[in-house]
Amino acid sequence: MSVATAVGGGRAEPLAVDGGTPVRHHSRAWPRWPVPAAGAEHLLNEVLHRGRWAISGPGEGELFERRFAARFAEYTGARHCVPTDHGSSALVIALESLGLEQGAPVAVPALTWVACATAVFRAGLVPVLVDVDEHTGCLTPQTLPMDVFPAAILAVHWACAMADVPALTEFAEPRGAVVVEDAAQAPGALWQGRRAGSLGRLGCFSMHHAKALTCGEGGAVVTDDPVLAMRLEELRADSRRYRPESRPGMLDLTETASVMGSNFCLNEFGAALACAQLEVLDEQHTVRNRNYALLATLLAGTPEVRLLRHAPQQDGLALYEVPVVFDGLPRGTDIASVAEALTAELGFPVYPPRAPLHRSSLLRPGSKAALAPLAERFEVLHRDRSYPVAEYLSTHAVLLHHRAFLGTEEDMADLASAVAKVTAALRTRGQRRASDGRN
Ligand SMILES: Cc1ncc(COP(=O)(O)O)c(C=O)c1O
């Protein structure tokens, strides 16, 4: 079946969700995720038998955590990298390292994972939820609030579009604010030849299971600033930093304690796995990006849907969850039903974005006594704010996990056919409703 004929003409055939024949037979498997890199097993075995499973354990030889830090710094083009146990902790220590006043406001996009806002609270600051740009789903200087000026801006690269960090920095710096880049969803993405994470004062990453660079659970902060890098080390290792030189029989960490830290250390298994997965990240990006370009071409035949637009300065994509926006969604149609219909056609999970943070059931700072003063401020700050673009995208887009893009041209043809088929059904439903309304 050629890609061109597979897409079909968008006829309204019975949907699989209603008992029709699915676009793709469920016996045809989709790519799996995660894909272990060829060298992963060897490195994990090395950790297992070396007897040094944590950076705070005694032992000799190079720590994988140090190896990953050096390689990831080189990969992103930043001078320093401090690995962490999660992306959320990366955000917490990045914000803590700035030494902002307690309760200072931090701009956070309304359309992102809840950890972006909870990390702000955990750092003793208050998130100010901000609407996003309609084309990219990210913050821009124009979307920032006029009435509260934030001390920091969390520039999240959402789904697979990048926020314009240079423009945000140009806006923020003269006003004394700092831009922290959240590149959890975008390791390897490029902005005018520079890697995501290296554009802000600090760049944060997640290596959670679902992410393009994963070791199960993990994270990292990168920065060019040596003072921030030293603080970050202490903040994630209970106030300890690496000794300048390791000594046999002694811990590599020493109690420097210029700032009180927590234990957010990446363990040695995670670090070894991250080293192995980093080796294949760009190869995987190449496959995903080629397939994404094909899908974009195939979807051009279905005018009711669109992919997010990337800024012209973004010259390298790092796919995470690919949004397909259904602009032609008939009034009253729930995007969850569209996702369900696509899932049934494809035998692959298609899902809507999570609720935007202003109505997320996961963001409940008031449920923790320790956060009470910050939670109160949060509530007051958010009275009478609205987020029309975040609302629109979260109720008109469905997301496809990047593993779908690790496959073949036929997989892209199936995706496009399923979108065309479901869109045709929606069109028919819309026409029926319009004519019912006239009669
Ligand atoms: C944009 C963003 N920031 C932060 C995080 C938190 O990372 P983790 O789940 O590793 O704590 C995520 C995870 O989904 C994310 O998508």
- 253 forms beta bridges with 242
Q: What CATH architecture is 40-279?
A: 3-Layer(aba) Sandwich (3.40)
Testing ligand 1's pocket by substitution, the residue of 160, 162, 208, 320 carrying the most ligand atoms inside 8 A of its CB is 208
What's the gap in Å between 88 CA and the centre of ligand 1? 6
Kindly report the three-state secondary structure assignment for every residue of 316-379. Answer: ECCCCEEEEEECCCCCCCCHHHHHHHHHHHHCCCEECCCCCHHHCCCCCHHHCHHHHHHHHHHH
In contact, 7 and 413? CB cutoff 8 Å: yes
- Cα 67 off chain centre by: 24
Question: Residue 421: enclosing H or E segment and its boundaries?
Answer: helix 409-438
97 lines ligand 1 (CB under 6 A): no
Q: Atom 10 (ligand 1): residue with closest C-alpha? A: 87
Instruction: Give the pLDDT of residue 438.
Output: 67
Judged by phi (left if over 0) then psi (alpha if -120 to 50, else beta), residue 328 lies in alpha
Angle at 308 (CA atoms; ends 333, 178), nearest 5 degrees: 115
88 lines ligand 1 (CB under 6 A): yes
Instruction: List the catalytic residue out of 211, 241, 396, 421.
Output: 211
Q: Atom 7 (ligand 1): residue with closest C-alpha? A: 87
3-state secondary structure of 182: strand
Give the residue extent of every domain in the chain.
40-279
421 lines ligand 1 (CB under 6 A): no
Of all residues in the chain, the percent with pLDDT exceeding 90 is 88
Testing ligand 1's pocket by substitution, the residue of 84, 91, 113 carrying the most ligand atoms inside 8 A of its CB is 113
Q: Distance (Å, rounded) from C-alpha 282 to C-alpha 297? A: 23
122 lines ligand 1 (CB under 6 A): no
Instruction: Give the pLDDT of residue 63.
Output: 95
Query: pLDDT tens digits, residue range 129-156?
Result: 999 999 999 999 999 988 999 999 999 9
What's the gap in Å between 178 CA and the centre of ligand 1? 20
Atom of ligand 1 nearest to the CA of 112: 1
Instruction: Give the pLDDT of residue 377.
Output: 96
Q: Residue 260 corresponds to which tokens in the numbers above?
A: 């009180």
Instruction: Give the pLDDT of residue 5.
Output: 33
Instruction: Give the pLDDT of residue 3.
Output: 31
Angle at 140 (CA atoms; ends 159, 120), nearest 5 degrees: 70
pLDDT tens, residue order, the chain (439 aa): 233 333 444 457 899 999 999 999 989 999 999 999 999 999 999 999 998 999 998 888 899 999 999 999 999 999 999 999 999 999 999 999 999 999 999 999 999 999 999 999 999 999 999 999 999 999 999 999 889 999 999 999 999 999 999 999 999 999 999 999 999 999 999 999 999 999 999 999 999 999 999 999 999 999 999 999 999 999 999 999 999 887 777 889 999 999 999 999 999 999 999 999 999 999 999 999 999 999 999 999 899 999 999 999 999 999 999 999 999 899 889 999 999 999 999 999 999 999 999 999 999 999 999 999 999 999 999 998 999 999 999 999 999 999 999 999 999 999 999 999 999 999 987 777 777 766 5
DSSP class of residue 264 equals -
Q: Distance (Å, rounded) from C-alpha 234 to C-alpha 253? A: 10
215 lines ligand 1 (CB under 6 A): no
Instruction: Give the pLDDT of residue 247.
Output: 79
Instruction: Give the pLDDT of residue 25.
Output: 94
What's the gap in Å between 208 CA and the centre of ligand 1? 7
109 lines ligand 1 (CB under 6 A): no
Residue 211 bears catalytic tag: yes
241 lines ligand 1 (CB under 6 A): no
Query: pLDDT tens digits, residue range 395-439?
Result: 999 999 999 999 999 999 999 999 999 999 999 877 777 777 665
3-state secondary structure of 141: helix
In contact, 342 and 418? CB cutoff 8 Å: yes
Instruction: Give the pLDDT of residue 10.
Output: 46
214 lines ligand 1 (CB under 6 A): no
Atom of ligand 1 nearest to the CA of 206: 10
Integer distance in angstroms from the first to the last C-alpha of the chain?
A: 43
Q: Distance (Å, rounded) from C-alpha 389 to C-alpha 156? A: 16
